Amino acid sequence: MNFEEMSGLKQWGVLVGAAALISAALFFTVFKSQREANAVAQQNLDANLRENAELESYRPKLAEIERQLASLKQQLEIERRIVPDEKEVDNFMRMMDSEASKAGIELRRYTAMPYAAKEYYTEVPFEMELDGPYFSMLNFFDRVGKLERIVNVSGLLVSTVKKPTDAKTKHTYQYAAGESVVATCTATTFFSHDLDPGNSKTAQPAAAKR
């Protein structure tokens, strides 16, 4: 029987049934999936709101955290000047030359000695020969002791310019008239990381200064 041949009541029943089937199909496909997507979106929104609320509690502490970070950065810069994290030793030599010049003595020779790698730092020792007036020599070691960078002086031997070998010097120089003493010592500087034996500038002895 065709739809047109049905009575008005039957036609109405067919239309209602078809509408119910279509509604059911839409509910279990489009509407249900959309509702599930909305539920997931709501869950994500609730999670973000909770996270924002937790982060908001740290806002009053942000300024204090920034002050602490600035203080730590300043401390790190100071520590880097005291114990540099560079492998090269040129700056150390220039620094010692500068202090010797200011004190009025001659720094004749550097000879690099084997470095010692520790857990957190590396010791880099240099054997040095110096000469000059007695009080200028005292001034030099006093200046080195007050440097911002850590430099340890050990094995100090002092003698007169007439008997430089008593200080175990390896060379004899043309001493100036006002010079009275010669000295040898080991000056040790430090680096805050391990040096590479293959690339280290301290692996080979430095040329003598004359």
Asked if residue 205 has pLDDT above 50, the reply is no
Residues composing the chain: 210
Q: What is the pLDDT of residue 206?
A: 45
Tell me which amino acid residue 105 is.
I
Assign 74 to helix, strand or coil. Answer: helix
Q: Clarify whether residues 12 and 51 are in a common domain.
A: yes
Domain for residue 198, yes or no? no
Domain for residue 179, yes or no? yes
Asked if residue 3 has pLDDT above 90, the reply is no
Q: Clarify whether residues 117 and 63 are in a common domain.
A: no
Q: What is the pLDDT of residue 195?
A: 44
Is the entire prediction scored with pTM above 0.85? no
Looking at per-residue pLDDT, the higher value among 77 and 129 belongs to: 129
Tell me which amino acid residue 201 is.
K
Q: What is the pLDDT of residue 154?
A: 94
- At 166, the pLDDT band (50, 70, 90 cuts) reads very high
Domain for residue 205, yes or no? no
Q: Clarify whether residues 71 and 123 are in a common domain.
A: no
Q: Clarify whether residues 65 and 106 are in a common domain.
A: no
Q: What is the pLDDT of residue 44?
A: 85
Looking at per-residue pLDDT, the higher value among 56 and 154 belongs to: 154
Q: Clarify whether residues 186 and 95 are in a common domain.
A: yes
Looking at per-residue pLDDT, the higher value among 184 and 42 belongs to: 184
Q: What is the pLDDT of residues 28-70, one digit of tens each?
A: 666 667 777 777 888 888 888 888 777 777 677 777 767 777 7
Q: What is the pLDDT of residues 111-146, one digit of tens each?
A: 988 988 888 788 889 999 999 999 999 999 999 999
- Which tokens sit at 107? 């720094």
Report d(CA 18, CA 15) in Å as an integer: 5
Q: Clarify whether residues 72 and 94 are in a common domain.
A: no
Domain for residue 66, yes or no? yes
- Cα 172 to Cα 56, 124, 132, 165, 167, distances in angstroms: 73, 26, 13, 8, 11
Q: What is the pLDDT of residue 51?
A: 82
Q: What is the pLDDT of residue 90?
A: 79
Q: Clarify whether residues 144 and 175 are in a common domain.
A: yes
Q: What DSSP line would sit under 16-73, residue for residue?
A: HHHHHHHHHHHIIIIIHHHHHHHHHHHHHHHHHHHHHHHHHTTHHHHHHHHHHHHHHH
Domain for residue 177, yes or no? yes
Q: What is the pLDDT of residue 56?
A: 74
Domain total for the chain? 2
Domain CATH for 177: 3.30.70.60
Instruction: Decide if 123 contacts 150 (C-beta within 8 A).
Output: no
Q: Clarify whether residues 71 and 97 are in a common domain.
A: no
- At 203, the pLDDT band (50, 70, 90 cuts) reads very low
Q: Where in the sequence is the domain holding 44, given as residue range(s)?
A: 8-76
Looking at per-residue pLDDT, the higher value among 200 and 144 belongs to: 144
Domain for residue 109, yes or no? yes
> What residues contact residue 83 under an 8 Å CB cut-off, 6+ apart?
121, 149, 150, 190, 191, 192
- Which tokens sit at 53? 């609320």
Domain for residue 98, yes or no? yes
Q: Clarify whether residues 113 and 181 are in a common domain.
A: yes
Domain for residue 58, yes or no? yes
